[in-house]
Amino acid sequence: MFKRFLIAALLAGAMAVTSCQRQVSYAEWEGPMELFKAGEDGYNTFRIPGMVVSKKGTVLAFAEARKNSHRDFGDIDLVVKRSEDGGRSWSDIIMVRDDGVNCCSSPTPVVLESGRILMLCTWQNNEVPFHHFAIHWFTMYSDDDGLTWSKPREITLPLVEPDWIMACIGPGHAIRLEKGVHKGRIVASCYHKWERPGDRLWQGRSFYIYSDDEGQTWQRGGFAGYGGNECMSTELANGDIMLNQREFKRWGDDIGIRYQRLVSISKDGGESFVDTWYDPNLPSAICEGSIIRYRHGHERDNWLLFATPTAQTRTELKVKLSKDCGQSWDPIYDGVYDKEAYSDMAELPDGSVGIIYEAGNTTSHDLLVFDIIPAAQIR
């Protein structure tokens, strides 16, 4: 009898903890918030956001901190800010990686089962011209919720080819698979470019890299056909992976399809792709976009959220909701700035969704804005 009582008590305690976790609440949101501002801490510009929520519920917002200009090359550091109250208040800038005058770019974080925050990123020697550099990829990690970071560890080989003139991980978050035979696998979305004189069609495509040992070793997965560029992924309810890609401008010019997102599906944990199409329901600037699966109350459903500037000039950022695995989309959020570009999203512990995006009224390089989409708005 005592044993039964003890088991019942333990189960009740576990249920109470789970209930408390589901009842997380925060102060009323008064956003949007200008999270990173041009000129802050001596940096010219902050760009290329990434965002995850740790096992403890800490929101981590990453960025490229560009020292001397808004351009994609030069002295660029990787930084993060932390929030322990659902994005209502934030820490000062924390340095993730500073390699002198060299370029540390494309922050691509993912939360591991252990709670470790793993960061994948790209590195460029500042002395080599942009788009023609020796490609180097690295991982770093934090075991204290983003307060401190390990030294970088290179993972370049055998993931990239020597004839590629550019290859980047992300940007935006990577994913850790939760279903099927590849449960626990880390999958990072990547893209590359290469030159073939006289052939403008064969210059860009997206692909995966993956790790089955918590980021210790990496393999190159499938290529999603031609025409893909910066990309981000989400795991669907059935364990498939959906890759959403920026359309590569030169490819789009030649085949007569521009300003639409390129979508691909993998059914084997990122090792190959079975389908790729342009989605006319997702008009987009030639720009990065972000995608997540929304799970709050819909764990078994394919509710997706996608964010991108919908006008061709990197304006009119919208977040769209799909309740049918991307067959149809409805807008639920509009950006409030004149110029808007790159973004990332993460589901917060209370069921709301945090979004960080580039914005400004003069250029989209002025700010990285953080805002919250309430759970009641995602319906």
Closest CA to 81 of 89, 93, 64: 93
- Mean pLDDT score, 108-132: 87
- The confidence band for 24, taking pLDDT boundaries of 50, 70 and 90, is confident
264, pLDDT greater than 50: yes
DSSP secondary structure string, 184-212? T-EEEEEEEEE--TT-TTSS-EEEEEEES
What are the tens digits of pLDDT across the range 28-43?
998 899 999 999 999 9
Angle at 311 between CA 192 and CA 229, to 5 degrees: 5
Q: What is this structure's pTM?
A: 0.91
> Residue 4 — φ and ψ, nearest 5°?
-65, -40
Query: What ranges in the chain are assigned the alpha helix state H?
Result: 2-22, 249-255
Count Cβ atoms below 10 Å from residue 8 Cβ, excluding itself: 10
pLDDT of residue 14: 40
**Cα–Cα distance, 88 to 111 (Å, whole number):** 21
What are the tens digits of pLDDT across the range 152-204?
999 999 999 887 888 999 899 999 999 999 999 999 999 998 766 665 545 68
- The confidence band for 374, taking pLDDT boundaries of 50, 70 and 90, is very high
**Cα–Cα distance, 283 to 310 (Å, whole number):** 6
**Cα–Cα distance, 224 to 79 (Å, whole number):** 30
What are the tens digits of pLDDT across the range 318-338?
999 999 999 999 999 999 999
171 close to 230: Cβ distance less than 8 angstroms = yes
Instruction: Report whether the peptide linkage leading into residue 109 is cis, meaning its omega lies within 30 degrees of zero.
Output: no
pLDDT of residue 131: 56
Percent of the chain with pLDDT over 90: 75
Count Cβ atoms below 10 Å from residue 151 Cβ, excluding itself: 8
- Mean pLDDT score, 2-20: 37
